[in-house]
Amino acid sequence: EMLFHSRDHSDLEPSPLHRAKPIADLRAAQRFLSRYGWSVPSAWAPSPKQLPEAPVGTALAEAVRRFQHVNALPASGELDAATLAAMNRPRCGVPDTRLPPPAAPSTLTPTPALLGSSTPQSLQPKAR
């Protein structure tokens, strides 16, 4: 069972084995953007193996920028801690199919960079 101590189960704790893998690096972020329709206009794919191609390079920066814009984050196109935290928030599994139009980039960024400390701990999402 999932562990709890309160009579009303309000302190239910999921098993560590059942926790979603945090989105903490570039690859995970790419998968997120692809899964939820931020990279290409994607259909509701019937199989994970047929996910649309993950965005890379300029396309990735653009996708990140659009994601940041709708989440009221500075649209830098870079995978900073705030952007990763937004990706880790509880969300619905349906892709965001109606995306806002791409914003004009202020600078061209060939490859998005992970900001902040290089240690994975600094990119850990906040506890729910």
Partner 1 sequence: SKRFLQMLLPGPGRQREDSPAGGAARIFSKKTLSWRLLGEAYSSQLSVDEQRSVFRLAFRMWSEVTPLDFREDLTSPGATVDIKLGFGRGRHLGCPRVFDGSGQEFAHAWRLGDIHFDEDEHLTLPTSDRGISLLKVAVHEIGHVLGLPHTYRTGSVMQPNYTPQEPAFELDWSDRKAIQKLYGSCQGSFDTVFDWIHKERTQYGEVRVRFSTYFFRKSWYWLYENRNNRTRYGDPSRIQAGWRGIPAQGIDAFVHVWTWRRDERYFFKGHRYWRYDSDQDQALTQDQQGRSYPELISQGFPGIPSPLDAAYFDRRQQQIYFFKEALVFAFDVNRNRVQSSYPMRMTEAFPAVVPHNHPVRAIDAAYYSYAQGSLFLFKGDAYWRVLNHRARQDNARLPANGLLPKRPISGAWPDICDVHSSTLNM
- Smallest Cα–Cα separation from 106: which of 128, 78, 82? 78
Q: 123 exposed, middle or buried (CB, 10 Å; 0-12, 13-18, 19+)?
A: buried
User: Please, what is the minimum distance in Å from the beta carbon of residue 90 to partner 1?
Assistant: 4
Interface with partner 1 includes 96 (CB under 8 A)? yes
Alpha-carbon dihedral of residues 122, 105, 94, 28, nearest 10 degrees? Answer: -30
Among 3, 5, 7, 98, binds partner 1 (CB under 8 A): 98
Asked if 74 and 15 count as a contact pair (C-beta separation under 8 A), the reply is no
Which window, 8-16, 73-81, 103-111, 115-123, contacts partner 1 (CB under 8 A)? Answer: 8-16
Interface with partner 1 includes 126 (CB under 8 A)? no
Asked if 84 and 73 count as a contact pair (C-beta separation under 8 A), the reply is no
Which window, 52-60, 82-90, 106-114, 116-124, contacts partner 1 (CB under 8 A)? Answer: 82-90
Interface with partner 1 includes 91 (CB under 8 A)? yes
Residue ranges that bind partner 1, judged by CB under 8 A: 1-2, 8-12, 14, 17-23, 36, 44-48, 70-71, 86, 88-94, 96-98, 100, 125, 128
